[in-house]
Amino acid sequence: MGKIIAIGGGEIGRPGTKIETTNIDKEIIKLSGKKNPLLLFIPTASGDSESYYEVVKKYFGNKLKCKTDVLYLIKNKYSKKELEDKILKSNIIYVGGGNTLQMIKIWKKLGVDKILKKAYSQNIVLSGVSAGAICWFKYGNSDSLKFSNKKAQMMRVNGLGFINGLFCPHYNMEVERKPELKKMMKNTSGIALALDNCSAIEIVDGQYRIIYSKKSANAYITYWKNNKYFENKIKKSNLFSSINIRKD
């Protein structure tokens, strides 16, 4: 079934910020089964930000002892074989935050979505934060439209669909997330997983658990049933449960 760690939000050392997700990121590395895994950073959502990669190199490379590489899909051109080699030779895929809608469009245009599905089937660890977490789900609660219009509302964006559900990041950090998710789920079947910053869902072979890098962080299942909206906090546990998260 594969391995995914999708992070609700948190800093990894941008200038002027404190590192917030170390416990989660150490679990990403542990899940790879390698002492010094090769981590491939994909910054498509941030427009191939080179400064973002510098932060990733300093944090995952220097601090957490990964080998790091980057896949610039906007600035560089690759053949299908080059893309496959770069993605499938890595131990960890880490996708950065930014514009989910634009990122998914580029991935599908270049066939990266299909290669990532192959990586998933080969047990390469798929991970990322915000847009880099939404992408693994069927849908996401996304601020992609705000990149061109700050007054725009949240949108339901399509992800790659490796996990059947809707993902909402930054649940405790951005005031519009809760009301927009409630409205969005009115027209979305199934459940949404809403994660605070410094929380993440870890999925291994069809089993899941929520992991945290701050004690105050929480995770929620939200859905509509009989014309009533439910927001259920997930109980904190180190144990894995079935990925078929129940509404009751």
Residues annotated catalytic, as ranges: 130, 170
Task: Count the alpha carbons within 13 Å of 11 in the hemisphere toward its beta carbon.
Answer: 9
Distance CA 12, CA 205 (A): 27
Instruction: Return all residues near 141 (Cβ < 8 A) that are at least 6 apart.
Output: 134, 154, 156, 166, 167, 168, 169, 177, 180, 181, 184, 192, 194
Q: State the Cα–Cα distance between residues 161 and 69, nearest whole angstrom.
A: 25
Q: Are 49 and 72 in contact (CB under 8 A)?
A: no
Contact 28, 218 (CB under 8 A): no
Task: List the Cα angle 181/247/116 in 5-degree steps.
Answer: 65
Cα separation, 180 vs 169, whole angstroms: 12
